[in-house]
Amino acid sequence: MADAQHEEVLARIAEGLLYTETEAAFLAPRRRQDEIFAYNHTPPGEAERRRELLVEILASVGERTVLLPPFHAAFGSNVHIGDDFFGNVNLTFVDDVGIRIGDDVMIAPGVTLTTTGHPVHPARRADFGRFSEPIVIEDKVWIGSNAVVLPGVRIGYGSVIGAGSVVSRSIPPMSVALGTPCRVVRPITEEDLAERTA
């Protein structure tokens, strides 16, 4: 019977429907809290140990990945990171479901990627009622400091998210987007190749 109940909860989670802390308790063994603690307390000179821990923590991790401690994650095991990733300090993954990050992505300090939200009506938040939707960050994206990316968002190839933005809807490729709520302000063009040159 427990397996059938677990399957039913997983199906609701996959559909972005409400579920509770008690219903999802069987997922707790997938949390990597001890490994995250160890990673955040590993000395800077122990690059190999940090890499070993990152492989243990994340669902998948590419080559030449830099993730500066401390970082935080609800699970860790639902995060996929591509090659040549740079994540600055205090990156938070609320990864109750999948977070997929492509290649050549840069994330500035203090960014939160949260796949999970809560209903507006307090009666629906009993037992920490919540919903979860995956986040996808495509290749070559840059996310500025203190941005928050909300459930279900996809950030398109090459786009830039301005510092302090709250990204509540998907952003198309090759766009500069910023604000609260985050909105596209312009496309990225060939003219941007000349920025900050002599």
Q: Which residues are catalytic?
A: 118
Q: Determine contact, residues 89/69, Cβ cutoff 8 Å.
A: yes
Positions of E strands within 34-108: 60-61, 66-67, 71-73, 79-81, 86-87, 91-94, 99-101, 106-107
SS3 117: strand
- Token digits for 84? 């040549």
Note the residue count of the chain.
Answer: 198
CA dihedral 110, 116, 121, 125 (to 10 degrees): -110
User: Rounded to a whole number, what is the distance in angstroms from the first to the last CA of the chain?
Assistant: 69
Place of tokens 């830099």: 66
